[in-house]
Amino acid sequence: MSVHELAGQPAPESALADIPDLVRAYQTEHPDPSVDAQRVSFGTSGHRGTSLNRTFNEDHILATTQAICEYRAQVGTDGPLFLGMDTHALSLPAHATALEVLAAHEVTVMVAADDGVTPTPAVSHAILTYNDGRTEGLADGIVITPSHNPPTDGGFKYNPTTGGPAGTEATSWIQQRANEILENDLSDVKRVGQDEARRADTTQEYDFLGNYVRDLDSVIDMEAIRTSGLKLAVDPLGGAGVHYWMAIAEHYDLPLDVLRTSIDPTFSFMTLDWDGAIRMDPSSPYAMQSLIDLKDEYDVAFACDTDHDRHGIVTAGGGLMQPNHYLCVMLDHLLTHRPDWPSDAGLGKTVVSSGLLTRIAKHHDRKVHEVPVGFKWFVDVLLDGRCGFVGEESAGASFLRKDGTTWTTDKDGIIAGLLAAEITAKRGKDPSEIYEELTEKFGSPVFKRVDAPATPAQKKVLKNLTPDQVDSDRLAGEEITAILTNAPGNDAPIGGLKVETENGWFVARPSGTEAIYKIYAESFKGEKHLQSLLDEAQLLVGTAFDRAPAVG
């Protein structure tokens, strides 16, 4: 894929979204449920789309919220529902729509006491805080966000009483029921007007910000940061954490500059991503160019995406850290600086996260819980403390409180950023420097992801491969040590294939939205070996395609 000529440059006016047109389309355009692309579809992070092509419109939110209300009744969830949203333009009208349905069902809804904007981790924190010690009347939540997606997108996800992303059983039921409601022209939807919904006794204010901020010192050593003498900066990227960062800096008296505190639904202040789109991705060097340009002015700086569940770390010497690199630094620090954690608190990683994480965990004699892509697979192990730290290669992570109890069961970009400050304060080295030390000790991996074309039939074959369909015993000059189609941590299907050797691995997975499959690969032997992994991975997958009767 070629990089756009304006990637990393300020967004021109021609790249900005027409917000009034976007909102008008949300209210007036109606999806056709007979068109697959216009149906409700819960991926790894809820339903996403844009009103401009009828994939995120009021009908979708009416149907999905109605389905969630019915699901709550079916499973016996009758406590309050914490409703949060980010700063995307479609989040506010979707928030209003959802509230109208929830109020009609007399669901007690907790909305933010200020402007309604709430980071994803604050919603997870609120659910878990409310449910702590309770066995009935448990709370759940809805977060309205398309994560780091472009300004024209909207997103809608459900977090059950466990506080994190809903599992497949719940999302499949909600998705199926929501599409039935769409097919029935919304006749099953119960709804009241916006004024009535706002005035309802069941609509109540909740101080998401205050409760979250005041509790941060239970998970981060805020005193170490306060007294460090470091110069720190955070760029909220115009997201839901803008006011949170200002409150954090003030409440804990941190040496933290909060950059760009304005909220603009066009996100006109962003630099363009690799493809020329505006995308609030804190792991992209193109989207993060403005903060990278300031790296020499701060000891460490960080940013979060629009709903603040992902993070990006910038250091003076290393610039923007690759997500896998910082995950390794976080893991090493937490396993050496959390004395009250259970001695058996392990590592949670996805099948496409760095193998260096595994080497670090084994060095500290901790178990590794490897799961498919999707943060929902980490919820249970965070709740029961089996894993002290969990992370995924797309810059999402969470970890336990200092006393070893659960903090959140959803990704938390805020604590990831603050941990970078804690690490630098307590160890006298920034995360980039510590990563270099880790590679000297455990090996220096190189990682790459490439996309390859695939027909629908080939994607289906890849998703349903079994290990015995791969008959090669060597990969990139090394003996194959494992061929996996199910994750070793929970035996759940990975939706593709993983092949491992002593010093490398690859994962091939079909895309859920495009006519491609993705190959992730990592080598501990250098770039040449990495390229061999990628080349042989494509050949191996191609052979499996050729031999599968379904491809024909």
Q: Is there a domain that residue 103 lies in? A: yes
pLDDT tens digits, residue range 138-182?
A: 999 999 999 999 999 999 999 999 999 999 999 999 999 999 999
Q: Residue 2: inside a domain, yes or no?
A: no
- Check which CATH number belongs to the domain holding 128 and give it: 3.40.120.10
Residue-level pLDDT at 253? 98
What is the number of other CB atoms lying within 10 angstroms of the CB of residue 343?
Answer: 10
Q: Is position 5 within any domain?
A: no
Does one domain contain both 418 and 498?
no
What would the mean pLDDT of 473-484 be, rounded to a whole number?
Answer: 93
Query: Which residues, 6+ apart, have CB-to-CB distance to 174 below 8 Å?
Result: 42, 64, 67, 68, 71, 158, 166
Over range 373-381, report the average pLDDT. Answer: 95
Band of pLDDT at residue 1, cut at 50, 70 and 90: low
Q: Supply the pLDDT for residue 552.
A: 41
Q: Quick check: is 63 in a domain? A: yes
What is the percentage of the chain residues whose pLDDT exceeds 70? 98
Q: Is residue 344 part of a domain?
A: yes
User: What secondary structure letter does DSSP report for 10?
Assistant: B
Rounded CA-CA distance 426/221 in Å is 9
DSSP secondary structure letters along 206-255: E-HHHHHHHTGGGTS-HHHHHTS---EEEE-TTSTTHHHHHHHHHHHT-S
Per-residue pLDDT tens digits for 217-253: 999 999 999 999 999 999 999 999 999 999 999 999 9
Q: Confidence class of residue 18 from pLDDT cuts 50, 70 and 90?
A: very high
Average pLDDT, the chain: 95
In a shared domain, residues 119 and 182? yes
User: Catalytic residue among 41, 45, 124, 147, which?
Assistant: 147
Instruction: Give the distance, in angstroms, between the CA of residue 144 and the centroid of all CA atoms in the same chain.
Output: 13
Residue 551, pLDDT > 60, answer no
Question: What residues make up the domain containing 506?
Answer: 446-547
Q: Are residues 188 and 84 in the same domain?
A: yes
Residue 10 domain flag: no
Predicted confidence (pLDDT) at residue 549 exceeds the cutoff of 70: no
Domain ends where: 162, 188, 206? 206
Instruction: Quick: pLDDT tens for 422-468.
Output: 999 999 999 999 999 999 999 999 999 988 888 888 888 888 877 87
Residue 311 sits in the same domain as residue 415: yes
- Give me the pLDDT at residue 50, please: 97
Number of neighbours of residue 172 by Cβ within 10 angstroms: 12
Which pLDDT does position 452 carry in this prediction?
A: 81
- Select the more confidently predicted residue: 23 or 509: 23
Report CA-CA distances (Å) from 528 to 323, 356, 447, 523, 532: 22, 19, 12, 9, 6
- Asked if 175 and 42 touch (Cβ cutoff 8 Å), the reply is yes
Amino acid 415: pLDDT: 98
Q: How many domains does the chain have?
A: 3
Domain boundary among 165, 188, 206: 206
Judge whether 147 counts as a catalytic residue.
yes
- Confidence (pLDDT) at 462: 85
Distance CA 61, CA 333 (A): 42
pLDDT average, residue stretch 345-356: 97
Q: Which of the four pLDDT bands, split at 50, 70 and 90, describes residue 187? A: very high
Together in a domain, 256 and 276: yes
User: For the domain that residue 481 is a member of, what is the CATH number?
Assistant: 3.30.310.50
Q: Which residue has the tokens 């010690």?
A: 133
Q: Same domain, yes or no, for 407 and 500?
A: no
The answer to whether residues 433 and 467 belong to one domain is no
58/172 same-domain check: yes
Residue 8 forms part of a structural domain: no
Q: Clarify whether residues 76 and 157 are in a common domain.
A: yes
Q: What is the pLDDT of residues 500-539, one digit of tens each?
A: 999 999 999 887 666 788 899 999 999 999 999 999 988 8
Query: Does residue 550 have a pLDDT over 60?
Result: no
Domain boundary among 173, 206, 239: 206
Distance CA 149, CA 155 (A): 9
Edge-first strand listing for the sheet containing 311-315? 256-258, 232-235, 300-304, 311-315, 319-320
| Same domain membership, residue 328 and residue 260 | yes
**Upper half-sphere CA count for residue 440 (Cβ side, 13 Å):** 6
Nearest 5°: phi and psi at 271?
A: -90, 150
pTM of the model: 0.96
User: Quick one: 25 and 103 in the same domain?
Assistant: yes
Residue burial 529-538, b: 16+ Cβ < 10 Å; e: rest: bbebbbebbb
Q: How confident is the model at residue 127 (pLDDT cuts 50, 70, 90)?
A: very high
CA distances 345 to 228, 242, 527, 547, Å, are: 29, 33, 34, 43
What pLDDT is stored for residue 112 in this prediction?
96
Residue keyed to tokens 């460090």 = 228
Percent of the chain with pLDDT over 90: 87
pLDDT confidence of residue 2 = 83
396 shares its domain with 356: yes
- Whether residue 3 is contained in a domain is answered as no
